Amino acid sequence: MQQDNGGRALAASTTERLIAVVVLGLGALFFGFGLFEYGFWQNKGPGSGFFPTIFGAGAMFCGLSRLRIHRITSESLSTASLRPVALAALAVFAGYGVGLVAALSIAVAAWMRFIGGERTPLSLIIGASFFLFVYLVFWRWLGINFDFGLLGRLVEGGAR
């Protein structure tokens, strides 16, 4: 059982069964669409549904096998591990408003300060460095066009 870093844990059996159900469900979806919608065999050869049907059936078999096995080998899922997901999702949502890079930089600093317990100046420096790195490497050098979000568009509209 893995160490829980402050959060609660989802039982190992649930994690194992959840994955088996996802594998089974995805297998069934791809198998069904592959066989009945996209065509298994067309023009003397495999059709668009050939791979989804064959490998969908394989996935269903694997999912079913794991559901039937009672010996659980997985570890429990700690809810503490899901904190970065929540923070990243929050930052991505905020990115629609203030722009992705700015929102991520704030999230990096906030994580360090409030979850990591680092000192405020260090958190701010790392957050600013992150912004600078993305700006220089991805934006200026590689020419990735990051969206400034609603705020950016408002500023741009005001400037015009």
Partner 1 sequence: MEVLSLLLNGFSVSLQPFALLAALGGAVLGILIGAIPGLGSVTAIALLLPLTFGMDPNVAIIMLTAVYFGCVFGGAYSAILMNIPGDTPAVMTALDGYPMSRKGQGGKALFTANLSSFIGGTIGIVILTFIGPSLATFGLRFGPAETALLILFALSSIGWLLGEDAIKGMASTFLGVLLATVGIGMTFGTQRFSFGTMELINGVSFIPLVIGMFGFAQVLEMAAGVYSAKKPARQIGLRESLLSRSDIARILPTSIRSGFLGTFVGVLPGAGATTAAFLAYILQRKVGRNGEEMGTGVVEGVAAAESGNNAAAAASFAPLLSLGIPGSGTSAVLLGGFMMWGLQPGPLLFTMQPDFVWGLISSMYVGNLVAILAGIAVIPFLMRILWVRQQILIPIIAGICVVAAYSSGGSMLDVWLMLGFGVFAYMMKLAGYPAAPLVLAFVLTPKLESSIRQSFDISNGHVGIFFSSYICIALLSLMGIMIVGLAASSLRKRRHDG
Segment 49 to 78, residues that bind partner 1, using CB under 8 A? 49-52, 55-56, 58-59, 62-63, 65-66, 73-78
Residue whose entry in the numeric block shows the structure tokens 């059936």: 57
Contact by Cβ (8 Å): 63, 23: yes
> Which residues within the stretch 137-156 sit at the binding site for partner 1 (CB under 8 A)?
137-138, 142, 144-146
Compute CA 160 distance to the chain's CA centroid, rounded to the nearest angstrom. Answer: 37
User: Binding pattern to partner 1, positions 31-50, x when CB under 8 A?
Assistant: --xx---xx--x-xxxxxxx
Tally of CB atoms within 10 A around 30: 22
Taking the complex as a whole, the smallest distance from the CB of residue 70 to partner 1 amounts, in Å, to 14
C-beta of residue 59 within 8 angstroms of C-beta of residue 24 = yes
**Going residue by residue from 89 to 128, which x/- string records binding to partner 1, judged by CB under 8 A?**
x-xx--xx---xx--xx-xx--xx--xxxx-------x--
Residue placing its CB nearer to partner 1 in the complex, 142 or 159: 142
Closest CB to partner 1 among residues 143, 157: 143
What is the distance between the terminal CA atoms of the chain, rounded to a whole angstrom? 59
Q: Which is nearer to partner 1, 84 or 159 (CB)?
A: 84
- 22 near partner 1 (CB under 8 A): yes
Distance of alpha carbon 138 from the chain centroid: 21
Phi, psi (5° rounding) for residue 157?
Answer: -65, -40
**Total residues interacting with partner 1, rule: CB under 8 A:** 79
Task: Return the number of the residue (42 or 120) whose C-beta is nearest partner 1.
Answer: 42
DSSP alpha helix (H) spans, the chain: 12-33, 50-68, 83-98, 100-110, 120-133, 149-159
